[in-house]
Copies of this chain bind each other. A is one copy, B any other.
């Protein structure tokens, strides 16, 4: 039984979707004639930037919290994160009525700390290094007995993120391609599972920044290559691909396309100007990949997940 990861089934994903209903919005799918004309295909944007806590992360965190046993819930949950997973887990715990301990680097943006505190999460600050984060988390877990909920390399989280694509497919659109960004791989692996279960012939394609291209390199090399020194404006995609995520991606994802920083910013600007919605730079990566490879998507129906909308408005790249 060792070393064999049992992936969530479509029934598991549908059950997760029911389970997390009290925690999430059913986000809308928006289209833009102007962007379709530029792209040469029909794009359906799944707007997880309108999701609770401003990102798809609300889904995975809620699912993981709701799957805890009553015994596990007693001592709460813990994680280390400077980003959306921190807020998502604090909020999920709060809705479920349990404690949450969030280890955050001392240099995490004030707005992120405020969000976690606002949801009732207990913040434990540490030095801004991965070692310090992991060590501090271990101490917190040892002291409190809380259950560690990792941000992406964790089946219950992946199962939760998979519910986003489920809602897309429920709209009845026969997607030729479904696209998501890839960082740790939680969203991409969940999206791939759902999409291939429902429509095996649909292509599942990721977009990834050239400056954090470990998933693309791992995909080509067929072995997990950790990211060293990632650098990209797409701050949600700085993390290295997770182990379980990599397994799912190798089995269910068709391709990973990389894009430059300029291409990300151009796609981001296009969404702001033409759709009048606010997205994180990470969200623009799949659209940038599509626009860079128009011929490949010509005339297709393409679903793109806009993963989140938490951006520092004072630091827009235009």
Contact = CB atoms under 8 A, between A and B. Distances in A.
B269 A49 contact: no
Nearest to A52: B33
A314 B269 CA distance: 11
A243 to B, nearest CB: 32
Contact of A313 (B28, B272, B277, B279): B272
Contacts of A269: 313
B309 A318 contact: no
A27 to B, nearest CB: 10
Contact of A276 (B49, B273, B316, B318): B49
Number of copies: 2
B313 A276 contact: no
B314 A276 contact: no
Contacts of A273: 313
Contacts of A309: 276
A279 B313 CA distance: 13
A54 B278 contact: no
A101 interface: no
Contacts of A28: 28
A49 B30 CA distance: 13
Contacts of A175: none
A45 interface: no
A32 to B, nearest CB: 9
A50 interface: yes
A276 B313 CA distance: 10
Nearest to A269: B313
A314 B276 CA distance: 14
A233 to B, nearest CB: 15
A203 B264 CA distance: 45
A279 B54 CA distance: 18
Contacts of A278: 272, 276-278
Interface in A268-318: 269, 272-273, 275-279, 309, 313-314, 316, 318
Interface string A44-74: 0000011000100000000000000000000
A277 B50 CA distance: 9
A276 B30 CA distance: 14
A57 to B, nearest CB: 14
Chain A to chain B: the 4 pairs with minimum beta-carbon distance, closest first: A276-B309, A276-B278, A49-B276, A277-B277
19 contacts: A28-B28, A30-B50, A50-B275, A50-B276, A54-B276, A269-B313, A272-B278, A272-B313, A273-B313, A276-B277, A276-B278, A276-B279, A276-B309, A277-B277, A278-B278, A313-B316, A313-B318, A314-B318, A316-B316
